[in-house]
Structure 1
Amino acid sequence: MDKILIFIFIFFFFNVSANSNKHVHNSYDLLLALTNSKNGESIILESGVYVGNFVINKSINFISNGNVVLTSGGVGNILTIESSNVNVKGILFYNSGKDMSVSDSCIFINGSNVNIINNFFSECGFSLWSNESTCNYFFNNIFIGGFDDILSDRGNTLHLYRNINSVIADNFIINGRDGVYITNSNEVSINRNIFTNVRFGIHYMFSNKCNVVSNIVCDSMIGIAVMYSKYVDLINNFAYSNVTHGLFFRDVLYSRILRNKSLYNKDGVLFGDSYFNDVINNDIIKNNVGMKVYSGSDDNLVYDNNFISNNLQVQFLDNRKIVWNSNSIGNFWSNYVGWDLNFDGIGDKKFYVTNISDWILSSYPILKIMFNSPALVLLQKIENQFPSFRKFSIIDNYPLMRPIIW
């Protein structure tokens, strides 16, 4: 009797397992398989081109077995995911609709616990739109965005609206509007991605408790922008050769900007109306302006940063005094001229990061032709002799004599 039961169990197990995979070879097979699929099944797409507007409404695995292309022929979404616990792997998504008003996408997601892994996206409206979802994971995909001359006519590559606890990691993104656009979301992590030739590499709006770690953004309009957000960790990112800003912060609170590198941008970092942030261990090197600071950006902890060979180290557009140092350590400034008689690595005189000539040149750029003129040199000497004449400035009380290496 026991042997019979064991035999029945083995037969049932292998029979169910065999039926859990559905192999499809054409668009009709795929539509039929999606209609009749059950939770937990796998749909295996054999090599070929599949044309249609496909919908997943069960918890399934959606996997290629060979060279698989899905396309909607330029009309509507290619794949819409209306359920949770879905895996999509190894597929080339090509030529979705391009109507931005209805969010045409290669993949449009209305479910949670969706994993999009090892796929290729090209000629999409929005490559991937994740709508009001939780715990989605987008890993190791290649995204080639639109090439429209007008950036606003392109869709965002990854667009996340009201997402919670999702991860975007190890993707390559080129062209399109914004590489990743995140709005009204919480606890979204963007890690180890590469962005190039986009408007904003990473763009956060009204999103809190997020992490941006070890990304590279180059040759774009803006590298990484965080706006109207709180408790964001921006750590170990690399922004270089961007047209305007490497790192951009507007109305950002209680965030950590640590160990980032911003090189060869117009502005290395822009700070506006941002308070109570930690800006520590960053390299801001060879930008036109190292850091542009607008009004309402005091009460930030700024120290242990390297400001090296920027044409203008800091452009300060406020009418108050701001201190950039901790209780005992400031920043390294490649244009600091001072001495260290006790050899503690800290300059013996404070550094006025912005002076009257900086203010004049930033307020009246045409006067750059007088940069080394006797008149400006005289103004600087007067400012040093008569501190009351000094324009409001950023002050580093403990300037470092050597760059920080971490």
Structure 2
Amino acid sequence: MFALLLITLALSSLDLTAQEYHLSANDNLQKTLDNSQNGDVITLTTGTYLGNFIISKQISLRGAKGETAIIDAQGKGHALVLKNSHITIANLTIVNWGDDLTEQNSGIYSHEKINNELATHLLIKNNKLSGDGFGIWLNHVTNAEISGNTVSGNTKLRSADRGNGIQVANVTHSHVFNNETYNTRDGIYVISSQNNLIEQNTMHHLRYGVHYMYSYDNTVKNNTAYNTRAGFALMSSRRLTITGNTTTNSQDYGFLMNFITQSTFSYNHVKDVWTKPENKVLGRDGKGLFIYNSGYNIIKHNSIDTAEIGIHLTAGSENVEIFGNSFINNPTQVKYVSNKKQEWSKEGKGNYWSNYLGWDMDNNGIGDTIFEPNDGIDKLVWQYPEMKMIMDSPAILILRWVQRQFPVLKPPGVKDSFPLMSAPSLSKDPQADTSLAVSTSTATLNKTSPHNSAQPVNSASLKE
């Protein structure tokens, strides 16, 4: 009891000594940061604060409500470096940090452990960042919140020469939500991070909207990506929950899955994945879902609409459950490069195919004939793309007829034994609200998506 009393008195003493500073652009911000104590609040009024600032105390740095406080790094280094836990950065405009990606130049940068422990409880909220390098960079952090921020890149640079909008590495139990990223390289880049929740972010005019590498047990839900090369690029990760996301107007992929295992993809919407004519080369087609070397996954209740190839599986992508999906208006519904059979239905429920020509005599909503999206001719075309020139010739039509009459000649591939007669209503995943919990102490912001307030962006800004 006595020890508890001492702790309570110590905390009360800390609260009593905490101060709030109101600074103008004429004041020495770095000196105030150096002289501050844990718990202090530094509020910046309208003006431009020039420099590369280091925060080593557990403080809050924020812009005054209704005013515009600008942190200008003057084209070099990091704008703000965080070197402690329990730091809040809020309501600031941060611009003009460096462009050296090797040095990880960033608008907000936290990279080092604190006393050999992960930095904890960093709150980065409602900031506007615009610059050449990385927007927000967190490494070795736990229990962080990144919310309500807008990060934009420099369209004068090639996409590969820009930093990512939000980059998290070795981050755990954190929440990234309601942010907008555009004109950077990737919108949100996640590497070597576990047990995080990424939701309700808007990402556009990028290479990849969300990019995952070597990360486990994360949830990505209800995000929106558009005008990208790939809406979501997920690589070398496992036990991901990907649900309720939307991607439109991608050049190459809606979802790219490379070496993804033990993961669930559900209630996602993919629309308009089409490689631009000027970028067309042999084998480069827009793919709604591209699944490479990925097994033991569940793909259910997704909609893939108007992609050059609806779903492409290759390189050992087997032991996958695929059911309840809608494949709509895709010239090639399935490209399956393998010699093993796959059944794409579960418990008497298959998928909806917009080009299915079967019938439903008992009116149970399930087609009475099996749907097989590919035949031997398709596989020949994949192997010899120049055959596309003769696809409608009498010889090809005869070959297809022979295969239908003598199924023994048909090579193994995808079969849907219970095709759906109509596209199912892809309502919200009932498990979405009970997905991965993170140990942050703040709730999701209740506000309009940043997409709605974004200024129009020139789609030509994504340079090769």
Structure 1 length normalisation: TM-score? 0.94
Residues 39-58 of structure 1, C-alpha deviation per residue, up to 9 Å, x if partnerless? 11100111110011111111
Letter of the 1:39 partner, please give it. Answer: N
Match of 1:3 in 2: none
Pair 322,14 (structure 1): closer, same or farther in 2 beyond 3 Å: closer
Q: Which has the higher contact order (CA 8 A, sep 6+)?
A: 2
The equivalent position to 1:200 in structure 2, one of 199, 208, 227, is: 208
Match of 1:248 in 2: 256
Match of 2:309 in 1: 289
Per the TM alignment, residue 295 of structure 1 is displaced from its structure 2 partner at its CA by 2.5
Q: Secondary structure at the match of 1:284?
A: strand
Match of 2:371 in 1: 351
Letter of the 2:222 partner, please give it. Answer: S
Tell me, yes or no, if structure 1 residue 361 matches structure 2 residue 369: no
1:230–1:254 CA contact under 8 A, matched in 2: yes
The total of aligned residue pairs comes to 394
Letter of the 2:91 partner, please give it. Answer: G
Pair 19,161 (structure 1): closer, same or farther in 2 beyond 3 Å: closer
Match of 1:142 in 2: 150
Match of 2:435 in 1: none
CA distance, structure 2, for counterparts of residue 146 and residue 212 of structure 1: 27
Structure exhibiting the larger radius of gyration computed from Cα positions:
1
Match of 1:62 in 2: 61
Identity of aligned residues (%): 29
Per the TM alignment, residue 149 of structure 1 is displaced from its structure 2 partner at its CA by 4.4
Letter of the 1:383 partner, please give it. Answer: Q
Per the TM alignment, residue 188 of structure 1 is displaced from its structure 2 partner at its CA by 1.9
Pair 163,19 (structure 1): closer, same or farther in 2 beyond 3 Å: closer
Per the TM alignment, residue 18 of structure 1 is displaced from its structure 2 partner at its CA by 9.0
The equivalent position to 1:380 in structure 2, one of 400, 408, 423, is: 400
Match of 1:7 in 2: none
Per the TM alignment, residue 392 of structure 1 is displaced from its structure 2 partner at its CA by 2.3
Letter of the 1:263 partner, please give it. Answer: K
CA distance, structure 2, for counterparts of residue 15 and residue 370 of structure 1: 80
2:145–2:174 CA contact under 8 A, matched in 1: yes
Q: Structure 2: which 5+ runs fail to align?
A: 1-11, 112-118, 274-285, 427-464
Residues 82-115 of structure 1, C-alpha deviation per residue, up to 9 Å, x if partnerless? 1111111110000001111110111101432111
Q: Secondary structure at the match of 1:286?
A: strand
Residues 210-262 of structure 1, C-alpha deviation per residue, up to 9 Å, x if partnerless? 11101111111111011111110110111111110000111111111000011
1:295–1:319 CA contact under 8 A, matched in 2: no
Q: Secondary structure at the match of 1:380?
A: helix
Match of 2:233 in 1: 225
Per the TM alignment, residue 15 of structure 1 is displaced from its structure 2 partner at its CA by 12
- Alignment RMSD (CA, Å): 1.7
1:146–1:155 CA contact under 8 A, matched in 2: no
Pair 188,124 (structure 1): closer, same or farther in 2 beyond 3 Å: farther
Match of 2:421 in 1: 401
More deviation in 367-376 or 211-220? 367-376
CA distance, structure 2, for counterparts of residue 102 and residue 252 of structure 1: 30
Letter of the 1:29 partner, please give it. Answer: N
The equivalent position to 2:267 in structure 1, one of 247, 251, 259, is: 259
CA distance, structure 2, for counterparts of residue 316 and residue 109 of structure 1: 44
Q: Secondary structure at the match of 2:120?
A: coil
CA distance, structure 2, for counterparts of residue 15 and residue 365 of structure 1: 72
Residues 101-136 of structure 1, C-alpha deviation per residue, up to 9 Å, x if partnerless? 110111101432111111001014111110111111
Per the TM alignment, residue 401 of structure 1 is displaced from its structure 2 partner at its CA by 1.1
1:103–1:125 CA contact under 8 A, matched in 2: yes
CA distance, structure 2, for counterparts of residue 15 and residue 300 of structure 1: 56
Structure 2 length normalisation: TM-score? 0.82
Letter of the 1:238 partner, please give it. Answer: T
